[in-house]
Structure 1
Amino acid sequence: MKFKPTLLAAALALACGLAQAVTLRVADVGDVQSMDPHSLNETLQLSFTQNIYDPLVSRGKDMSLKPGLATKWTQTSPTVWRFELRKGVTFHDGTPFTADDVVFSFKRGASEGSDMKGYTNPIKEVRKVNDFAVDIETNAPLPILPDTLTSLFIMSKKWCEENKAERPVDRRKGIENYASFKANGTGPYRLKERQPSTRTVIVRNNNYFEKFEGNVDEVIFTPIGNDATRVAAMLSGEVDVMEPVPLQDVERLKAGGFTVLQGPELRTIFLGMDQKRDELLFSNVKGKNPFKDVRVRKAFYQAIDIDAIKSRVMRNASSPTALMVGPGIRGFQPDMNKRLPYDVEAAKKLMAEAGYPNGFEVGMNCPNDRYVNDGPICQAVAASLARIGVKVNLQTETKNTYFPKILRRDTSFYLLGWTPSTTDAHDAISALMATPTDKGQGQFNLGSYSNPKFDELAAKIASEIDDSKRNAYIREAFKIHADDVGHIPLHQQALAWAMRSNVSLVQLPDNRLFFKWVTVKAK
């Protein structure tokens, strides 16, 4: 049988294309919990889904704002911003992207079950101007509005309605829907395969509106919770990129010819305490809540040996902190970053003054596959608190069960990490420290710390356009929170990613990985 020259050429071209397809194999300590971009405001979740979905405003390699699905934005009044939308964009199923999808996505992000209410909380209304323009009106002036939109991804109104996914799933209730396992974005990659807790595969979207800087056609993402197993997979060639690198294996991987990228992360690791319930859950104290007493909170703070955690648990790959935001975040106050001294005797005295000379029992919730050495950190905290008579009943578990539990506030004492996606202090002030409301403020203030004066300052910080005044408000808010011991900040952890020598990528300080920037060279 003879092939026509044109058919033969086409067949050869196809074969060459297939032969040159580049696959990137990525391993992480935990899994992406859902394909729904509005269901969980967690870094790994957002890092992965940002490759499938796009926001109106994106970030560049230097963390500066850049056009996403919006090509430009202008402030038309103190409370109104107009966003001009990108034309000619289609979702992965071929549906054209329009302003209707933007209006729908913001409404969805503000709906029941959404974890994105912290971003939609300041917004009064999103109005369609025409098919390729929307006006976003805020409740009060919000000069950092574009910064707040980088993590709110746009979904297809038509697709969500057709598949009964008009609202995001509520991770607190363990509910799933079509968008939990399927995806239809405008992003650089399309979802090909989803096997929760096993592997997720995405492939290049050849209709993407931006030029690819990398050459990766397919990404196979595999969660490997065990540190030794993850490192073994790297050493054996089963994966090309892994994160995080166990601190004890950094030098071993470097010696093996692998590239290990290390750098400061914008994330702050901290402890939260239930300050709302009249009787503390998971405790032997009945009829009252010790954490309502600032002396108890301060005693816990001063009993924790942060230097031991830094040297022994974190192998010096952490920076102890007194603030809920770290360097690199707009509004960080370096001169205020002074922790209360580690002082067991002072802590014992405070406990006695508060009426607990012999301490008490308390349950503590902690993930073991989310942050760097999260389980060992909590064990070290428990050991420190034992010195003041506090018996910590520690429960460590996978983040898949940990997050739903603490997000429904079924906790007394917990560990959490936070990276302000806006790179601005107001993000942490509003989400972590302000009094929780049903509109999204304080959505991750899981211990319900509350101070009316702090809330007043949070509102001023959001709307103030004068930098010096805004900075003064931030300082005052930080001082109030520190004096109240609203939370117990621990440290900023360091990033550690490993990759094969033929892989090049961009490590951002918010710990997000854009696959469109990854290049895999032929060996």
Structure 2
Amino acid sequence: MTGTLTKLTAALLATTLLIGAAQAETLRWARSSDALTLDPHAQNDGVTSTLLNQVYETLIWRDAAGALQPRLATEWAVKEGNPNVWVFKIREGVKFSDGADLTAEDVAFSIDRARSETSPLRQLHADVVSVAAVDDHTVEVTLKGPSLIYPNNVTGTYIIDKGWAETNHTAEVADPTVNGDSYAVRHTNGTGPYVIKSREEGVRTVLEPTANHWSGVKPQVTEIVFTPIADAATRVAALLSKEVDFVQDVPVQDIERLAASDGIKIETGPENRSIFFGYRLDEAPLKSSNITDKNPLSDLRVREAFDLAINRDAIKQIVLRGNAIPTGIIVPPFVHGWTPELDTYSKQDVAKAKALLAEAGYPDGFTITLDTPNNRYVNDEGIAQAVVGFLGQIGVKVTLVARPFTQHTPLLVEQATDFFLFGWGVPTFDSAYNFNDLIHTRDGSYGNYNATGYSNAEVDAKIESLGSEVDPAKRDATIADLWKLVKDQHLYLPVHNQVVAWAVRDGINIEIQPDNSPKFGTVTFD
């Protein structure tokens, strides 16, 4: 009976693969912006990661429900006798697209590269002391102390070929938006289901299946044509005219129309991403304000006034046509540490906001510049424009400057903005990811995206303790204390958690993901 079942299973698998081959075809994909780089360790950006997720692979990844799944690592566990060491068993038989074998040396090299000083991913590995290839298929990662969550952190670190990087003089990370160029910025060599066939930055990227992917599965999508289309109307028109098959960034004003259009279906779901505003919190005067002797935003009363000026429900209903989940904290419900209590948000109270400003010494308000991207998040510029109006109601006169995301990101990295809109996804599904990058003092390992200037040694110590605390109850208590501080001190101005909307032509089956990153290798055609 077992032999019969085995033969039947093999026959069904063969039939499935034949059907897939018969139906294989091109998928034309459009979204509002392009990847910032092809170097998988040079940017911590969702659009970049989505493209590279087709080409490179991580040790572990998540399914659509957010559960950890093996990828290049087949198993992982704490080393027996040494709780400070995580052991990863590396999948055998995996090759890079240039034919080189994947070994533990490549994994160790990739983790070390991602935690280097020039990589914005370094906070994921801030507690790592050393990485060692024990044999060809075993890697040991030694941490400063025991860590409950380190496997979560490797879900965002792609593995590259050590030999390829060294041969092409790209062993070090170069971010093209900050500190230069390198071979890895323009070329790839991954183990993923696709390879890049051609690329014209900002115009068109073509991908084709890897010749012999380790999974043995041949994708039904035999060609991906990725086209960034910044203009929302043009993006939708391309879908309606059948020039593209899949639009990832569906403008909120077009969701209902597209859903009612023949031959098109809309997939929606909550994204693991918060949208919020940040501002300079140190004592130095703002560069863009008419208050020249101090920083108004360093006063808690002013930050509370900003919070009370915002009408989150109006932004949801009017700016985003209902496609948002208003929130009072900069972390979505997917993430460990989120609670319904934290999620509560202030209702707009203009009178109280004005009173707080007057109490702080600004009865007539003040001026400030707000920096926003205009092609990264769902109607990001529209959200910023609404906030300009709300703050105007309490006397704060805001000048809005909107830029493409490639020009917006350096403002945060270089701490060159007084007031900014930003979005934050949490690939680790743990609050430490937010604290490490957005709250901790910027010190070379932590605080990479902390553009606020906020710095508190006691808070830093609590954040760092999360990486090595093995008592879950104690760790959770620290997370709760930190979120209470963030909320009570109004360190950021939360607006909402983003809702993903994908538009795809009928007959194409694609599963929406909480990280807003489609897995094209699993797409099927009717």
Contact 2:412 2:450 in 1 (8 A): no
Query: Alpha carbons of 1:174 and 1:394: their partners in 2 closer, same or farther (altered >3 Å)?
Result: farther
Identify the residue that residue 53 of structure 1 maps to in structure 2. 56
Contact 2:466 2:475 in 1 (8 A): yes
Identify the residue that residue 411 of structure 2 maps to in structure 1. 405
Identify the residue that residue 318 of structure 1 maps to in structure 2. 324
Q: Is 1:416 aligned to residue 419 of structure 2?
A: no
The equivalent position to 2:76 in structure 1, one of 59, 63, 73, is 73
State TM-score, norm by structure 2. Answer: 0.92
The Cα of 1:194 is off from its aligned counterpart by 1.1
> Matched residues, percent identical?
39
Identify the residue that residue 13 of structure 1 maps to in structure 2. none
Alpha-carbon separation, structure 2, partners of 1:298 and 1:452: 23
1:323-358, Cα deviation, whole Å (9 max, x unpaired): 111212122111232223321121112212222221
**Comparing 20-29 and 359-368, the one that deviates more:** 20-29
Contact 1:24 1:520 in 2 (8 A): no
Q: Is 1:109 aligned to residue 109 of structure 2?
A: no
Contact 2:311 2:347 in 1 (8 A): no
Unaligned stretches of 5+ residues in structure 1: 1-15
Contact 1:113 1:169 in 2 (8 A): yes
Unaligned stretches of 5+ residues in structure 2: 1-18
The equivalent position to 2:35 in structure 1, one of 18, 24, 32, is 32
Let me know the Cα RMSD of the aligned residues.
1.8
Identify the residue that residue 126 of structure 2 maps to in structure 1. 121
Identify the residue that residue 7 of structure 1 maps to in structure 2. none
Identify the residue that residue 23 of structure 1 maps to in structure 2. 26
The equivalent position to 1:137 in structure 2, one of 102, 127, 142, is 142
Alpha-carbon separation, structure 2, partners of 1:321 and 1:346: 20
Identify the residue that residue 8 of structure 1 maps to in structure 2. none
Alpha-carbon separation, structure 2, partners of 1:288 and 1:167: 40
Identify the residue that residue 248 of structure 1 maps to in structure 2. 253
Q: Is 1:450 aligned to residue 455 of structure 2?
A: yes
Q: Is 1:464 aligned to residue 469 of structure 2?
A: yes
Alpha-carbon separation, structure 1, partners of 2:88 and 2:75: 6
**Comparing 481-490 and 171-180, the one that deviates more:** 171-180
Identify the residue that residue 99 of structure 2 maps to in structure 1. 94
Amino acid at match of 2:97: H
Identify the residue that residue 297 of structure 2 maps to in structure 1. 291
Contact 1:142 1:462 in 2 (8 A): yes
Query: Alpha carbons of 1:512 and 1:17: their partners in 2 closer, same or farther (altered >3 Å)?
Result: closer
Identify the residue that residue 169 of structure 2 maps to in structure 1. 164
Alpha-carbon separation, structure 2, partners of 1:318 and 1:60: 23
The Cα of 1:174 is off from its aligned counterpart by 5.4
The Cα of 1:211 is off from its aligned counterpart by 3.6
1:285-328, Cα deviation, whole Å (9 max, x unpaired): 21322221111111111111212111110111111111111212
Amino acid at match of 1:318: A
Regions of 4+ moved over 4 Å: 16-21
Counterpart of 1:218 in 2: which secondary structure? strand
Counterpart of 2:207 in 1: which secondary structure? strand
The equivalent position to 2:154 in structure 1, one of 142, 149, 153, is 149
Contact 1:172 1:408 in 2 (8 A): no
Query: Alpha carbons of 1:171 and 1:405: their partners in 2 closer, same or farther (altered >3 Å)?
Result: farther
Q: Is 1:209 aligned to residue 228 of structure 2?
A: no
The Cα of 1:455 is off from its aligned counterpart by 2.4
The Cα of 1:271 is off from its aligned counterpart by 0.6
State TM-score, norm by structure 1. Answer: 0.93
Matches within 5 A, 1:490-501: 490-501=495-506
The Cα of 1:463 is off from its aligned counterpart by 2.6
The Cα of 1:236 is off from its aligned counterpart by 0.6
1:99-138, Cα deviation, whole Å (9 max, x unpaired): 2211211221122321111212121111121121111011
Alpha-carbon separation, structure 2, partners of 1:96 and 1:38: 21
Matches within 5 A, 1:212-231: 212=217, 214-231=219-236
The Cα of 1:254 is off from its aligned counterpart by 1.6
1:247-277, Cα deviation, whole Å (9 max, x unpaired): 1111211221311001111111011111236
Alpha-carbon separation, structure 1, partners of 2:182 and 2:146: 36
1:387-439, Cα deviation, whole Å (9 max, x unpaired): 12111111101112111222211111001111110111221122222222211
The Cα of 1:172 is off from its aligned counterpart by 4.5
Q: Is 1:475 aligned to residue 480 of structure 2?
A: yes
**Comparing 243-252 and 219-228, the one that deviates more:** 243-252
The Cα of 1:28 is off from its aligned counterpart by 0.3
Contact 1:99 1:131 in 2 (8 A): yes
Counterpart of 2:118 in 1: which secondary structure? coil
Q: Is 1:181 aligned to residue 218 of structure 2?
A: no
Counterpart of 1:107 in 2: which secondary structure? helix
Amino acid at match of 1:402: H
The equivalent position to 2:46 in structure 1, one of 40, 43, 46, is 43
1:139-190, Cα deviation, whole Å (9 max, x unpaired): 2221111111011001111111121211222245252221111111111111
Alpha-carbon separation, structure 1, partners of 2:509 and 2:468: 40
1:420-472, Cα deviation, whole Å (9 max, x unpaired): 10111221122222222211x12112213233343233233333333333222
Alpha-carbon separation, structure 1, partners of 2:166 and 2:282: 38
Query: Alpha carbons of 1:282 and 1:210: their partners in 2 closer, same or farther (altered >3 Å)?
Result: same
1:167-224, Cα deviation, whole Å (9 max, x unpaired): 2222452522211111111111111111111011111003111143741111110001
Contact 1:454 1:481 in 2 (8 A): no
Counterpart of 1:149 in 2: which secondary structure? helix
Amino acid at match of 2:431: A
The Cα of 1:246 is off from its aligned counterpart by 1.1
Alpha-carbon separation, structure 1, partners of 2:136 and 2:188: 23
The equivalent position to 1:331 in structure 2, one of 326, 337, 355, is 337
Contact 2:23 2:525 in 1 (8 A): no
**Comparing 290-299 and 231-240, the one that deviates more:** 290-299
Contact 1:245 1:496 in 2 (8 A): yes
Contact 1:266 1:509 in 2 (8 A): yes
Contact 2:23 2:220 in 1 (8 A): no
Contact 1:457 1:473 in 2 (8 A): yes
Identify the residue that residue 9 of structure 2 maps to in structure 1. none
Q: Is 1:361 aligned to residue 367 of structure 2?
A: yes
Amino acid at match of 1:316: G
